[in-house]
Amino acid sequence: MSLKITLKPHEKLILAGAAITNGNTTANLIIENNVPILRKKDILKEEDASSPARRIYFVIQLIYLDHENRATYQGKYWDFIRDFVHAAPSSQALINEINDHVMGGKYYPALKAAARLIKYEESILSGKKGDKE
């Protein structure tokens, strides 16, 4: 099944490991096979992986985009997950969802769930929602 992506002028994305920047006009891309794709809004730079939840997101991103080094990143992923659950046991349900996606090889949904984990972490740190444990 094909995937149609419409890029705005100057919009960036990563497609199968290649960084792509659109030109001055809107462009439509039709992706005919299953390759990792991340739009700029979903890309987290390494220097921005500045919290435990952001590090989890970043390592999932690496797992998704760099299949040659997937085993190395998966080891880091499990270390980050263990540390996060230890620090915030109330996150267990969301962590389980992320783990299910990662173990099933569904990395884009794992990234979406990890984005929710970042918001959850921010709410804990801001005091808006306390850790239940």
The series of mean pLDDT values per 10 residues for the chain, 133 residues long, is 90 92 95 92 95 98 94 96 96 97 96 98 81 41
Distance CA 129, CA 41 (A): 26
Instruction: Answer whether 10's CB lies under 8 Å from 22's CB.
Output: yes
pLDDT of residue 17: 87
Sheet strands (E) in the chain: 3-7, 12-15, 18-21, 27-31, 37-39
pLDDT of residue 34: 87
Side chain identity, residue 6: T
Distance CA 111, CA 100 (A): 12
pLDDT of residue 133: 39
